[in-house]
A and B are shown apart, each in its own frame.
Chain A
Amino acid sequence: MKINDLIQPFVFLLLVGAVTPLLGGYMFKVFSGKKNILTPIFGKLENLILRVSGVNPAEEMNWKKYLWSLLAFNFAGFLLLFILQVVQKWLPLNPQGFGNVPFDLAFNTAISFVTNTNWQAYAGETTMSYSVQMLGLAVQNFLSAATGIAVVLALTRGIVTKLTDNLGNFWTDLTRSVLYVLIPGSVIVSILLMSQGVIQNFSSYADIKTLEGVSQVIPFGPAASQIAIKMLGTNGGGFFNTNSAHPFENPTPFSNFIEMLCILLIPAALTYTYGKMTGSKKEGWIIFGVMMFLLAAGLITSMYSEFSYNPALNTAYNLEGKELRFGISNSVLFSTITTDVSCGAVNAMHSSLTPLAGMVTMLNIMLGEIIFGGVGAGLYGMLIFVLLTVFIAGLMVGRTPEYLGKKIESLEIKMAIIAVLIQSAFILCLTAYASVTESGLSSLGNTGPHGFSEILYTFSSAVGNNGSAFAGLNANTVFYNIATGIAMIIGRFGVIIPVMVIAGSLAGKNKSPVTSGTFTTDNYVFAVLLIGVILIVGALTFFPALSLGPIVEHLLMKGGVLF
């Protein structure tokens, strides 16, 4: 291990912390409708879009209306993306003449992009035409991210306001996310990426003769524009099969640095926005701190594991599945943050990581994608745990639990538990089913405990809406396309719906005044409790499954066992 292997992650995390208040403060202005630096450019366009669509921006929605608009919009997005794929053959910008995408794969991919998962059972460069990539996949990259932001805004308003059922306007929130945050960010990032060599063209693939005279077909496409939003929107669906390991998607260490920054940028900044919205920046920073602590713990474990000697393969520097320009340090950092956040882009193959580093990626997802988490989704997921912690702390001291002056009662806790349990239940049940059926096992790429890890990772990734994979598993089968498709819907809307119910319920409550007996949530005691609750829930639920996969593999590897 070189000193530089430590400097890179350190500089990176420092920069994330530095940018958080800047972007977070900007987003606060955007989402509370205040004048901001981009209002002169996009203000008129925002009004125009809303007017043409027949939206009255002044109309406030209650939780049911908000949720119904969100679900209708996501369903329409699913239909459009599904249709685009199954009629691909007849659409323009298809220089390679790709045929229509099969129904089960199109179903899986459409759900995958609408739910911000971007699980890829297909290889982009041999399946999807340029028009489907642009009009279908990239559009959902924007819209699924904006949907996540909308949900967390609604929940925050529910916490902040009192005695009302108004949670804001879904269409306004969505439009503002896209116009003021996602598009400007993506334009800047695209241009930076192109300066490093990421491609952006509409040419047909080049058939060239190599120096030794062999034929090689080089794929092209409008990649830069899609990769920028894939990272910023924490989507993670690559333009090419090997995602950000592909030199056209991620050509230099600097492009890699930008892509990593994009993964964390919005989720981290939203904690600050949250602090501003609740009127106490400290509330936001405590959540940021808890997330950063969990991130760092995972990163240190991964680093330690990857730089240790592997007796089974007899190597201490395993570059299998990694790109030389990134080296081990950047590959490990990328794998950790892409699973902390529900991004799922990869710059190294997670399946070839050492068992403990692979376990960190899995556990990050299993905890519910709350270590910064997906755009919006990470914060509302974390707020669920905040409510549970407040509840448990309330039980311990024997007071009615309150969060920021709102009484946390039976309905909120029931909904919070549903949101947490539904994810764990689907991950474990689907993994168990796939582990004992022919349709599940016939896709395996590795044997031994690593084979089990492939299945466990698959369903964790689908339910967690992450989208990365232990890609030895052949996921493009009817069984996996349907099963992961269902898992992705449950993992997304099985959380969004309870969250919206909580938002509606909290909005209707009065705020109780702060007294000397109030349990405050802007301090280290609360941070420690919150970390405890997250780890106990995560560890108790998944420890048995992880023991069968990465933990036993680690022990056997240390004993030099091969499969």
Chain B
Amino acid sequence: MKTIITTIKVLLIMTVLTGIIYPLIIFGAGSVFFPSKANGSLIEANGNTAGSELIAQKFESEKYFQPRPSAVDFQPLPSGASNLGPTSGKLKAISDSLRLAYILKNNLSEDAKVPSDAVYSSGSGLDPHISYENAVLQSERISKARNFNEEKKQQLRKLIDRTLENPQFGFLGEPRINVLNLNIELDKL
């Protein structure tokens, strides 16, 4: 009986400590030190909230860079992946058709090397990044759709280079480009 009373008391104290006080302290710290990040890294474009820098959004227009394929069609409720395995015929069919669509859309030659991130969907379905190669391959199409002259084309090249994020501290992670940031800047060119 004594054990049961102790059990209940310890459980309640721990619940208050780790379930209320602890997350509130972190909430306070986040609000003070990282207000934007703790609230979802939302970014603005043309005076409106255009989304979160960290959450991929759907781009279908010829005029924008396209993100990686998403198994949840870029709807974050809930996040998700295909979970298709390495011998999945379905995955082969999907990646083949995405590859073909990418080649047609970007006017590439039939045996062009399409970057892996353009044909395989991400783990979260919300991966905000694409590879540098992927961005460069799409840039011709975008220049054409936006009727860019040579000077603008040069600017676009520079924009891609500028948006490229290198591995953190020189060695962590992969080089990558945030698609939403790139597209917002693209509209300003």
B-binding residues in A (CB < 8 A) = 4, 7-8, 11, 49, 52-55, 68-69, 72-73, 76-77, 80, 123-126, 134-136, 138-139, 142-143, 171, 174-175, 178, 182-183, 186-187, 190-191, 194-203, 205-206, 208-212, 214, 216-220, 222, 224-226, 228-229, 240-242, 245-248, 251-254, 256-257, 310, 312-315, 317-327, 330-331, 346-349, 351-355, 358, 445-446, 448-450, 453, 470-472, 553, 556-557, 561-563
Contact = CB atoms under 8 A, between A and B. Distances in A.
| Interface-centre pick from B13, B129, B131, B183 (highest chain A CB count, 10 A) | B13
Contacts of A190: 26, 29
Interface stretch (B103-111, B141-149, B163-171): B163-171
Given A199-B39, A247-B56, A319-B117, 13 more contacts: A135-B20, A139-B15, A187-B26, A195-B34, A200-B26, A212-B58, A217-B75, A224-B38, A245-B81, A251-B41, A313-B92, A324-B131, A449-B87
16 contacts: A194-B29, A200-B38, A211-B187, A220-B40, A225-B26, A240-B124, A245-B124, A246-B126, A253-B174, A317-B116, A321-B120, A349-B123, A355-B86, A446-B85, A471-B81, A471-B83
Given A139-B15, A254-B169, A556-B87, A125 B30 contact: no
Contact of B86 (A69, A175, A557): A557
Contacts of A69: 3, 6-7
Contact of B49 (A208, A214, A217, A324): A208
B14 interface: yes
Query: Which of A203, A228, A246, A448 gathers most chain B CB within 10 Å?
Result: A246
B167 A253 contact: yes
Max count, chain B CB within 10 A of own CB: residue among A72, A224, A352, A353: A352
Contacts of B52: 218, 248
Contact of A194 (B37, B64, B88, B123): B37
B101 interface: no
Contact of B22 (A171, A186, A218): A186
Contacts of B187: 211
B136 interface: no
Given A211-B64, A226-B23, A354-B86, A125 B45 contact: no
Interface of B: 2-11, 13-15, 17-20, 22-23, 25-27, 29-30, 33-34, 37-42, 45, 48-61, 64, 68, 74-89, 91-92, 95, 116-117, 120-131, 167-169, 171-174, 176, 180, 183-184, 187
A313 B10 contact: no
Contacts, number: 359
Contact of B129 (A8, A53, A324): A324
A170 to B, nearest CB: 9
Contacts of A319: 68, 116-117, 120, 122
Contacts of B40: 199, 201, 206, 218, 220, 248
Nearest to A310: B86
Given A199-B39, A211-B64, A562-B89, A253 B172 contact: yes
Given A199-B40, A557-B86, A247 B33 contact: no
A331 B40 CA distance: 24
Given A251-B54, A320-B91, A134 B83 contact: no
Nearest to A74: B7
B91 to A, nearest CB: 6
Given A4-B171, A53-B9, A351-B85, A216 B54 contact: no
Q: Which residue, of B8, B48, B52, has the highest number of chain A Cβ atoms within 10 A?
A: B52
A561 B87 contact: yes
Contacts of A139: 14-15, 18-19
Contact of A126 (B3, B19, B61, B77): B77
